Every structure is written in C-alpha cells, then in structure tokens.
Amino acid sequence: MSFWIEQYQRRPKLLVVDDQPINIRIINELFRADCDMHMATSGEQAVAITHALQPDLILLDIMMSGMDGLEVCRLLKSDHATAAIPIIFITAKSEESEEAFGLELGAVDYISKPLNAAIVRARVKTHLTLKAQSDYLKKLVSLDGLTGIANRRAFDLRLTEAWGQAAREEETVSLLMIDIDYFKRFNDHFGHLKGDECLQRVATAIAGSVNRPYDMAARYGGEEFACILPDTNQQGALTLANVIRANISELRIAHPASDVSEQLTLSIGVASLQPRIGSDSAELIALADEQLYQAKHNGRDRVQSQTN
C-alpha cells in the first residue's frame, strides 16, 4: 500500500468511527503500517475530530449509541469544510435497509460486518486513490500556472470564506496587496523570460514568508500579489509585510531601471477590518488597494497602512 504515500506525498489520514473498540482494533491493525490512524467512539467525537483533522477517508459505523452514523454523515456533508471527505459506512446485516439512505446522504461505499480484511483493504484502497486524484485536480485548478502559488480564483474563494468566518467569530482579518516596483521597466530591460523568472522567485519568497496553514499567499494578477491573513490584527499584518520586504531584499535581484533602488523592491498596502455580518469582502480589498496606491504615491519601496 506504499503507493498511497506516493500519491499523497505523505501518509493518508484515516478516521475510524465505531463505539465497539474491537472493530477499531481490527481496522487499526489493517492500516497502521501505511496510514495515520485516528479513532472516535461516538458521533459527537467524530464530528469534532473531522473538523480538526480533515482526514482523507472516514470509516463510519451506522449503529452507535447517541448520534448514529447516518446523522454524523448528514452533518459532515452539509458543512462546506467537511463535505468533500469520503465516508465508507460499516454496516451489520440488520442495517442493510439503511445502506441506500446512507448513500443518498453522500457516503461513497459501505462494508458489511463481520469485517473481511481483503474487502476492507480493497475498498479503502479504491477510495483513498480517488480522493488523492480529486485533491490533485483541485490543486491544479487553484494554482497559478507560472508561479505555482494560489491563483486569483483561489484567492477570491479563500477571502470570502475568511471574511465570513471573521464576521461570525467577531475577529479581524487582514489583507496585504503587494506590487513589484517598476516591473514593466524590469521586463523592458531584461526581457519577458527574465521577468517570468523574477515573478517566480518573488512568489516563492512571499509564500515562504506566510507560515500559518490558514493564511494564503496568491498571485492577484500581473506583478501584483496578495496575502490573506485571518485572525490577524494590523500590527501582525505590518510585521509580516516587513518580513516579506526583507526576504525580497535578500534575493538581491538587480533592477537597474528602478528609480528607488538598484535591486528589486516591493510596495505593500496593508488593510485590517473586523467584518460585519452581511458585509462584503470587497470592502477589505478596496482599503488594501488604497493603501497600496498611497505606498506608490509616497515613493514606493515601502509598507503603507491605515495609520502610517
């Protein structure tokens, strides 16, 4: 089963949900050598672990005390954050009438008890492979073809998601709008091949500066980049903006056509807002764009925010 690691570039995460420890132990023995195994013994625990862990596949018993597997499936499939995670139901003969209903809820397959090791392995192999392929295709759609970081489509989706979450939780979300100073002159001086190489190096440096898994660095368009920073106040955003400028400076990319430096520089606009329920994330983009304009107006090669 080592091919799973090759497809995922890591060990896939498998969540087993059953209120009978013996069933969990059986499945754990089958997959612990190749998967990161996680267990839940109740429906409530399964929902919480799924949100925190984002497993690649869930093996879910239908009949459990309290919240049963059908309700767990319904909750996970109705939530955008967990809807894409495949679920295989584990059913007893007496539960066969519920299999069709479970599939209608969004489960991808079912396995009957008593568990047959060969069947369990085959079903899990099939659905982990399909999940890996689906994840890969989604990643391709969301990446910028030149730089390899998130594209504008992925940026728009992530900002809408982060804005809505911040509104619900009454948190601040920050945005950096980043522009390469005098990039047209860079292209005119060195040619478009060197310009593309420059964009790739800048994108890599920006993405490498963004360390939290829920932040996003994206190519916004042309020579413009953006960073979405959920649960980040203005000071935190300013700190990251200066880290990005420092990391670009360390690249020492020559730019003899620039009016501000002999090396490539950035202008960065910083905006931070606490969204209101029902408001639009375009408000944050407009504010960050305004700050970027001010950074350029004030001489470029600088960070500009609402208060500086």
**Residues classed as catalytic:** 223
Contacts of 272 (CB under 8 A, 6+ apart): 172, 173, 174, 175, 232, 233, 234, 237, 305, 306
Q: Which residues of 94-117 are buried (b: 16+ CB within 10 A; e: fewer)?
A: ebeebbeebeebbbbbbbebeeee
- Assigned token pair, 190: 């060195």
End-to-end CA distance of the chain: 56
DSSP E strands in the chain: the ranges are: 13-17, 36-40, 57-61, 87-91, 109-112, 173-180, 216-221, 224-229, 266-273, 303-304
State the pairing for strand pair 57-61/224-229: unpaired
- Helix, strand or coil for residue 263? strand
Is 115 in a helix, a strand, or coil?
Answer: coil
Distance CA 125, CA 108 (A): 13
Task: Tell me which residue of 1, 138, 126, 6 sits closest to 57, measured CA to CA.
Answer: 126
What token pair was written down for 195?
A: 């310009």
Cβ-proximal residues to 304 (8 Å cutoff; 6+ apart), any chain: 267, 268, 269, 270, 291, 292, 294, 295, 298
| Edge-to-edge strand list for the sheet holding 216-221 | 216-221, 224-229, 173-180, 266-273, 303-304
Strands 216-221 and 224-229: antiparallel
DSSP helix/strand/coil, 216: strand
